[in-house]
């Protein structure tokens, strides 16, 4: 089965600094990859997704991620962190419609 590893359960950055959240996956077939964001006491909201085609994917709120097959990675970046980015972020991989696997999550803290 496919799986996801998120490196770093907590990441702290200063406002205006680069955000980099790491995600590595394993899959026996070409995967679909996702980043979701969860704000306190809310459900998950899709940030961006990779299905096929262009490997650099742009999402909402200025986030982007690059699918690197050779590195089995799908890291999430944002050039300049904002206080409102503080949340928990989940990377997920899916190879069919009924088996999406989530990483353990990375909590992002943004310091003023």
Partner 1 sequence: NAGVTQTPKFQVLKTGQSMTLQCAQDMNHNSMYWYRQDPGMGLRLIYYSASEGTTDKGEVPNGYNVSRLNKREFSLRLESAAPSQTSVYFCASTEAKHSYEQYFGPGTRLTVT
Q: What is the DSSP letter of 11?
A: E
Of 8, 18, 26, 46, the one binding partner 1 by CB under 8 A: 46
What is the pairing mode between strands 19-26 and 73-78? antiparallel
Residue 14 CB, shortest distance to partner 1, in Å, is 25
- Residue 61 as a binder of partner 1 (CB under 8 A): the answer is no
What is the pairing mode between strands 32-38 and 87-94? antiparallel
Residue 21 CB, shortest distance to partner 1, in Å, is 14
Q: DSSP string spanning 25-54? A: EE-SSPPEEEEEEE-TTS-EEEEEEE-SS-
- Residue 45 as a binder of partner 1 (CB under 8 A): the answer is yes
- Residue 84 as a binder of partner 1 (CB under 8 A): the answer is no
Q: What is the DSSP letter of 62?
A: G
- Residue 102 as a binder of partner 1 (CB under 8 A): the answer is yes
Residue 85 CB, shortest distance to partner 1, in Å, is 19
Is the distance from CB of 79 to CB of 62 less than 8 angstroms? yes
For partner 1, the binding residues (CB under 8 A) are 4, 9, 32, 34, 36, 41-46, 49, 51, 90, 94, 96-100, 102-105
């Amino acid at each position: 089965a496919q799986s996801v590893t998120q490196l770093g359960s907590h990441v702290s950055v200063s406002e205006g600094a680069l955000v980099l959240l790491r995600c590595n996956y394993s899959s026996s077939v070409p995967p679909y990859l996702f980043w979701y964001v969860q704000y306190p006491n809310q459900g998950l909201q899709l940030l961006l997704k990779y299905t096929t085609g262009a490997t650099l994917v742009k999402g909402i709120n200025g986030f982007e991620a690059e699918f690197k097959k050779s590195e089995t990675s799908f890291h999430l970046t944002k050039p300049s962190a904002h206080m409102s980015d503080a949340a928990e972020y989940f990377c997920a991989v899916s190879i069919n419609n009924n088996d999406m696997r989530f990483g353990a999550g990375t909590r992002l803290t943004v310091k003023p």
